[in-house]
Structure formats: C-alpha cells, structure tokens
C-alpha cells in the first residue's frame, strides 16, 4: 500500500507535493517515514502553530494526519548526533561544546573583534578597534599637541598673535579621556580640535591679554570632543584654588580639573593637556623663538604641552653696535626689556637653562663690567655672573642659569652692570665677528 500526501494540502513555499510521508510494510508492520526535503527550511505555515501533515492511503482510502514533532520524536532517539545532542525524548536539541568553528560563525566586518561594549550583559557585538580600546580602559599617551597652526603639531616657524588654539594629532589620533571622572579610557578623537580665544560659549569668558589659561580635553554632552580653556589663572604664577578657578587634581595619575568649569567640563571630567599665555598687547598667543633686532627681538613661547613635549630653544640678539653703562647696579641689557625670553610652563616637571653672553670693555683699569640673567627681574640676577676687567680689548663673557622657576608665565632677562665709570657693551660692534646673545632651552 502506498501512502501519499493528501491532494490539495497547502505546502510551505517552494515545497513539491511529492515531499511527504511514505509508508512501507514488512512482516505485517507498517513503518511511516517523512521525506523532509525542505519542509523545515523552505517556509513556515502561518497556522496552525503545530505543523501537521495530512496523508491519504490509496489502499484503504483512509485519511491520516501526522504531527512533525511526533514524527521527529518517534524517529530520532536521544543521544549524541555528532555536533548536536538530543535529549528529553527528542524534545531538547543542544549544540555540543567546542564544535562551533570560526567558519560556522556569522561573518564579521573587516578589522573588528567580537565583544560586548554595552556596559551590561548582552549579545556579542562586532567591535571596532576604537571600541575595543575604550572597552579595555587601558590608558595610552595622548597622541596630540597644542599648537597655533592647523595640521602642524610642532611649530618650526614663528607664529605671532594667533587667535585660535589648536589641538592636533602628533603621534596618533587617540587620547586617554574620562566621562565620569573615575574611569579613564582610550578614545579616537579623530581630527584636530580648535577654539578661538574670543569664544565664550565653551569657556567661562573670552580670553583677555596678559593672562594664563589651562586647556582641557573633554566630551561635551556625551557626543562631541572639545579642547577648551578653563578660567584665567589667579595670577601669572598661580591657578588659584576653589570654585571658579583652574585648580587641578590628580586622579589615577591624570591631571584633571578639580572644579566645574562654566560652559565647560564638570569637575574631574576634563583632561588637562597644557597651558597658554596670552600676549601682553592683546588677547592673542604667540610662539616666537626670538630674533636679531635693535634692542633685541623678544622670544615669546606662549604654548606649553602636558603631553608630547619637545625640546625648544630660543635666542635673542641685539643688533645695536654698542652702548655704555656706568652704574653699579644691574639693569636690562641696553636698557631694553626686549632682550628677553618669555615663556609659560603649566606643570613644574622640567628644568630650564639660560645663558647670556656679551662682548664688553670695562672702561677703566679699576672698573669691572658684568652680565647676568634675571628670572622675572630687571635688577636681580639668578645663577652665575660673568665679569671682566679689561679696559683695552673687548672680551666676551657669559652668565648662566639652570633651574626651574615654577609654573606660570616667566621670563629670562639679559642684565648688565658696571662697578665704576662707563663700561662699553657691544651688540655686534658693527662687525661680523662680534655678537651678544641671550639663549634658553626648555621643553614645551
């Protein structure tokens, strides 16, 4: 007797009518088998929820109905079937441990890793490199530098009176950041960030002349990376402390803002990345290594980086042929405050060196001419003093300073002294083989 599928049965999509239940008889025993060619993969019946297969016997004109679940349960005994184990009388199918190979997993986008960056229990995700770094919360040296020229992390050319501060990639475009003040992680900042000195929407106020400011990297409203100014320092050498100041605190090794910043990061949410000093003549910032000029061309190093500092040298020379001085007290060389190197330092980690060299004739056998370096002073020397007593032949002698004046805006001033009578000091003496100079080396 042959059993075939009932004519008119509604099959799942793309299933032929010949795909059905077959019956074989042997020794008086009828055995039913199911041809599942596509029945469990080619479509799903909308109803009923339990899938039945009606069949018709050509031998006895009898209609039959078989449940797929009953058929599976009756034909697939419990046990390990290779990669799958069956239990519960055929009702529980489990994938064996260690049998799902990489080729059996869903394909992944290039340069991604499996993980969960949601912060809570959930399905595996395909994570980008940036998401993996953020999830690991593994600190990394910030790859950026503060600068005054777009796309130029290290300024090789002098920049005067810049109106925008730029935070641009130097080593890479990642930085350690924080969103809650306690968890520090790596973020892909992307391209450079910038802020104009006149901006008062993401800083407490527009910058003003002759002031010092700290710069902070932070996440605005959970979506936008910014590098913006905090409030002006209380003085040239002090941030101040308490609400409304740029006070810093160290958390897990990172310097962050101790106080909430108006229009900026909440307390402990901004990573301190450096400091700037605005020019004396206006709300601009300069990075100028000095030069040769009448009365000296002042060097102004108004940008200092907390991360990725490099060695910076400044040199100031006076093109005036010569001048005299006859007072037994120190004054600015050539009575000029532009024979000076001005700089800012945000954190007192590096020592600085300075040297002032100048040719001189003492003027009388009993007279001594001296040169020195004033740290934030036009009348008092710091470091060694260079002295000579030759009143016939010009000789070049030098003063030296090595140390760390501390945080804030400071300057090295070239100084001169004459014990009695008029001493002659030379800039270039109108020749190509004489030249004075004030030099300084630091990291910024």
pLDDT digits (tens, 9 = 90+) for 218-265: 999 999 999 999 999 999 999 999 999 999 999 999 999 999 999 999
Give me the pLDDT at residue 29, please: 60
pLDDT digits (tens, 9 = 90+) for 318-371: 999 999 999 999 999 999 999 999 999 999 999 999 999 999 999 888 899 999
Cα distance between residue 337 and residue 429, in whole Å: 20
Does the pLDDT at position 8 exceed 70?
A: no
Cα distance between residue 142 and residue 176, in whole Å: 6
Residues 6+ apart with CB under 8 A from 418: 325, 326, 327, 328, 362, 363, 367, 368, 369, 370
Cα distance between residue 385 and residue 364, in whole Å: 20
Q: Note whether 73 and 90 are within 8 A (CB).
A: yes
pLDDT digits (tens, 9 = 90+) for 367-400: 999 999 999 999 999 999 999 987 788 889 999 9
Does the pLDDT at position 62 exceed 70?
A: no
Homologous superfamily (CATH) for 303-443: icosahedral virus (2.60.120.660)
Does the pLDDT at position 22 exceed 80?
A: no
Q: What residue segments make up the domains of the chain, in order of their start?
A: 3-78, 106-136, 144-277, 303-443
Token reading at 215: 């710069």
- Give the confidence band of 99 by pLDDT, cuts at 50, 70, 90: confident
Does the pLDDT at position 14 exceed 50?
A: no
Cα distance between residue 432 and residue 411, in whole Å: 29
- Give the confidence band of 80 by pLDDT, cuts at 50, 70, 90: confident
Angle at 266 between CA 263 and CA 270, to 5 degrees: 95
> Structure pTM?
0.74
Q: Note whether 299 and 440 are within 8 A (CB).
A: yes
Give me the pLDDT at residue 77, please: 80
Token reading at 40: 């469990």
Element (H, E) at 25: strand 21-26
């Amino acid at each position: 007797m042959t059993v075939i599928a009932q004519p008119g049965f509604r099959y799942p999509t793309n299933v032929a009518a010949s795909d059905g239940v077959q019956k074989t008889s042997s020794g008086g025993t009828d055995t039913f088998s199911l041809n599942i060619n596509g029945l469990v993969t080619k479509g799903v019946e909308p109803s009923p929820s339990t899938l039945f297969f009606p069949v018709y016997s050509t031998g006895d004109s009898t209609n039959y109905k078989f449940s797929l679940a009953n058929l599976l349960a009756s034909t697939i005994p419990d046990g390990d079937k290779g990669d799958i184990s069956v239990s519960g009388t055929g009702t529980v199918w489990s994938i064996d441990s260690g049998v799902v190979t990489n080729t059996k997993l869903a394909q992944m986008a290039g340069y991604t890793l499996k993980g969960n960056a949601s912060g809570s229990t959930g399905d595996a995700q395909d994570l980008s490199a940036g998401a993996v770094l953020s999830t690991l919360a593994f600190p990394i040296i910030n790859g950026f530098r503060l600068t005054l020229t777009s796309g130029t992390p290290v300024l090789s050319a002098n920049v005067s009176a810049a109106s925008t501060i730029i935070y641009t990639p130097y080593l890479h475009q990642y930085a350690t950041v924080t969103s809650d003040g306690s968890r520090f992680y790596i973020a892909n900042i992307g391209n450079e960030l910038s802020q104009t000195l006149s901006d008062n929407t993401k800083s407490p106020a527009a910058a003003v002349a002759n002031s010092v400011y700290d710069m902070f990297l932070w996440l605005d409203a959970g979506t936008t990376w910014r590098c913006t100014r905090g409030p002006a320092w209380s003085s040239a050498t002090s941030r101040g402390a308490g609400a409304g100041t740029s006070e810093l605190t160290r958390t897990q090794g990172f310097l962050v803002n101790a106080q909430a910043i108006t229009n900026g990061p909440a307390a402990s949410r901004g990573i301190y990345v450096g400091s700037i000093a605005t020019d004396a003549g206006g709300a601009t910032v300069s990075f100028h290594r000095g030069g040769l000029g009448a009365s000296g061309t002042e060097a102004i190093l108004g940008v200092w980086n907390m991360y990725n500092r490099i060695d910076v040298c400044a040199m100031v020379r006076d093109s005036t042929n010569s001048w005299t001085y006859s007072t037994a007290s120190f004054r600015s060389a050539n009575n000029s405050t532009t024979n000076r190197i001005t700089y800012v330092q945000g954190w007192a980690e590096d020592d600085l060196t300075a040297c002032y060299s100048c040719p001189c004739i003492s003027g009388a056998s009993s007279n001594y001419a001296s040169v020195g370096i004033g740290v934030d002073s036009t009348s008092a020397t710091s470091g060694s003093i260079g002295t000579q007593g030759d009143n016939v032949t010009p000789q070049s002698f030098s003063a030296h300073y090595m140390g760390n004046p501390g945080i804030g805006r400071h300057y090295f001033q070239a100084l001169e002294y004459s014990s009695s009578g008029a001493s002659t000091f030379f800039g270039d003496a109108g020749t190509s083989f004489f030249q004075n100079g004030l030099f300084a080396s630091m990291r910024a």
